[in-house]
Amino acid sequence: MRKFSSYGPVNTRLHYHAPRKALTDRAYDELTGHDPLEGGHYITVWAPRQTGKTWVMQQVVSRIREQGDFEAGIITMQSAKEIKSEERVLKFFVRCLSEWFEKDLPDIREWDMLYSVFTKRCFSKPVILILDEFDALGEDFINKFANEFRDMYMRRKNQPGLPSEEKTCLLHGLALIGVRSVLGIENVTGSPFNVQRSVHIPNLTYRETEEMFADYEKESGQQIMPDVIRRIHDETRGQPGLTCWFGELVTETYNKNFPEPFSARNFEIVSAAAVKALPNNNILNIVSKAGREPYKFVILELFRTVKKTEFTYDDSLLNYLYMNGVISYETENGTDYYARFACPFVQKRLFNHFSREIFGEMGKMFEPFEDLSDTVSDESLNIPNLMRRFQNHLRKNREWLLKDAPRRKDLRICEAVYHFGLYRWLCDFLETQYARVWPEFPTGNGKVDLIVRYADRTYALELKSYTHERGYKEALDQAALYGKDLGLAEVSLVFFVEYIDDAAREKYEKTYTHKESGVRVIPIFVDIGE
């Protein structure tokens, strides 16, 4: 029986996978050409990490080799990452070609000699070459390789009347994998490789995710409940590496009751472990990239609840985060582009990471014999009083608690810091009350909701920053609809504000009942004292 695998390219005989036929067909057509006698294209194959770029191109190479019209190869440039000299990088490249094609190729020492490798002296058929991990090379080497490949492409185009196998250069098609960023915004000198076409590798669709689990069910005889498959796809947004990792957790690591159906409750256990306890190279790499300066500040700003971050590929910071699978983008009105987290699971891991990094210690929650009955009873929580206690704790300990908190250019503390702080405080305050607290991110951008489960009751706290009255009114309706989605009759809408007086509290802290849904929204203002 096959398994799910999230560690490098999958083996179709051993692992569950999505065939992605339309994608491989397109890459095949680009490399072989719409008219193979004329030649193929030189393309870049790009996507964030762990999206299956290598696997797709491996399928293309296998298909090309089976047909026998071309000599096709795929080699990786990863091991050339630390090479510093031109002579050594050329020698490395030719050695990899020689090993793959099992040919004695010329020993070249200059860039303008690269062309000689792809001539009739070395190959009897047109060549299709795929270079994986091409962006592992230093930028100077990338530019020089790209310049020579462009020259080869133009040589072929300058011989339009000859069949591909009779042209002086036999490099029929070329694919550079994972190079979109280095041939784009990060290359400040400009790219000479302006002849390429681009093939983007998207995430898995829900249908593709569903079909992988259908294959598992057929082979194992165990049912994975439909809502579990939907949750996996929603949590990962179909990112192949993470989707298959969750598949591994569900079908192996946490599949204790096999062959009983794998239920939604089972998945809650898996999800909690994935967010809080389990290492995974893919997500650890994402967290590491997001935690580095200057990218860290961009991530903190993405947690804003009021203003979205405009996405443009030409922004070097957003470009880096996008190519490393930290963020993605969404569109509004067909023309407006905004950055968002790559998927809810990534957002949860980053929220947990920064919460603990910034608030490793929250201080004493309450005195040993303090009366907490106005806030916690055996049957319920009083959320407004809980927020008052948090506000008092913030004011009392502000000097040391926020001493090293990340700040914007105007020296104000980043909005997300208060969300992290409230989450950590709730976890510590309610820890002894046998309550469970976790964050939810229903939109994938700045919207943050904290869910508290206590005494068989669920409380939802939607977090916002107060800016103006119109936003306040819109937030009331949004919170009510969110409460409806959760099946709750009541939702707390927590506004962080720099200052609020008693008159404003009396005016704005009034329970609001949504007409259509009947959900009650309780506005609560937390004075952060800036």
Average pLDDT over residues 113-141: 93
**pLDDT level of residue 71 (50, 70, 90 thresholds):** very high
Mean pLDDT of 330-343: 91
pLDDT > 70: percent of the chain = 95
For the segment 369-381, the average pLDDT, to the nearest whole number, is 93
238, pLDDT greater than 60: yes
How much is the pLDDT for 445? 62
Q: Compare 187 and 161 and report the one with higher pLDDT.
A: 161
pLDDT for 143 beyond 50: yes
- The one-character DSSP state at 112 is G
pLDDT band at 179 (very low <50, low <70, confident <90, very high): low
Each domain of the chain, given as residue ranges in start order, spans: 21-200, 206-278, 361-527
Classify strands 520-527 and 512-513 as parallel, antiparallel or unpaired. antiparallel
Do residues 41 and 197 make contact, with C-beta atoms less than 8 angstroms apart?
A: yes
Q: State residue 196's pLDDT score.
A: 59
Mean pLDDT estimate for the chain? 90
Q: How many Å apart are CA 442 and CA 156, to the nearest integer?
A: 52
Arithmetic mean of pLDDT, 504-511: 95
CA distances from 303 to 189, 404, 424, 431, 465 (A): 33, 18, 16, 25, 11
Q: What is the mean pLDDT of residues 493-518?
A: 94
Band of the pLDDT at 60, cuts 50, 70, 90?
A: very high
pLDDT at 279: 85
Task: Say if residue 218 is exposed, middle or buried (CB neighbours under 10 Å; 0-12, 13-18, 19+).
Answer: exposed
d(CA 20, CA 22): 6
Which of 89-98, 187-196, 354-363 shows the lowest mean pLDDT across its residues?
187-196
Q: Is the pLDDT of residue 61 over 90?
A: yes
pLDDT at 189: 45
* CA dihedral for 357, 358, 363, 365, sign (positive or negative): negative
Cβ atoms of 259 and 322 closer than 8 Å: no
Q: What are the tens digits of pLDDT across the range 9-58?
A: 889 999 999 999 999 999 999 999 988 777 888 888 888 878 889 999 99
Per-residue b/e over 154-176, b at no fewer than 16 CB within 10 Å? Answer: eebeeeeeeebbebebbbbbbbb
Q: Residue written as tokens 């050695």?
A: 95
Parallel, antiparallel, or unpaired for β 490-497 and 520-527?
A: parallel
Q: List the single range of 98-112, 265-279, 437-451, 507-521 with lowest mean pLDDT.
A: 437-451
Q: How confident is the model at residue 489 (pLDDT cuts 50, 70, 90)?
A: very high
CA–CA dist 46, 326 (Å, integer): 15
Average pLDDT of the segment spanning 140-154: 91
Residue bearing the bigger pLDDT, 25 or 196: 25
Percent of the chain topping pLDDT 90: 72
Q: pLDDT, tens digit, for every residue of 422-461?
A: 999 999 999 878 899 999 886 666 577 899 999 999 999 9
* pLDDT range class, residue 216, cuts 50, 70, 90: very high
Q: Is residue 101 pLDDT above 90, yes or no?
A: yes
Residues making up the chain, counted from first to last: 530
Mean per-residue pLDDT for 350-361? 93
Give the helix/strand (H/E) hosting 309: none
Q: What is the mean pLDDT of residues 299-310?
A: 87
Give the pLDDT of residue 530: 67
Confidence tier at 191 by pLDDT (50, 70, 90): very low
Q: Per CATH, which fold does 21-200 belong to?
A: Rossmann fold (3.40.50)
Taking CA 453 as the corner, what is the angle to CA 487 and CA 415, rounded to the nearest 5 degrees?
Answer: 90
Is the pLDDT at 348 greater than 90, yes or no?
yes
The answer, yes or no, to whether residue 389 has pLDDT greater than 70, is yes
pTM of the model: 0.88
| Cβ within 8 Å of residue 177, ≥6 positions away | 44, 45, 46, 53, 54, 57, 130, 131, 132, 133, 134
pLDDT tens, 246-271?
999 999 999 999 999 999 999 999 99
Q: Output 449 or 305, whichever has higher pLDDT.
A: 449
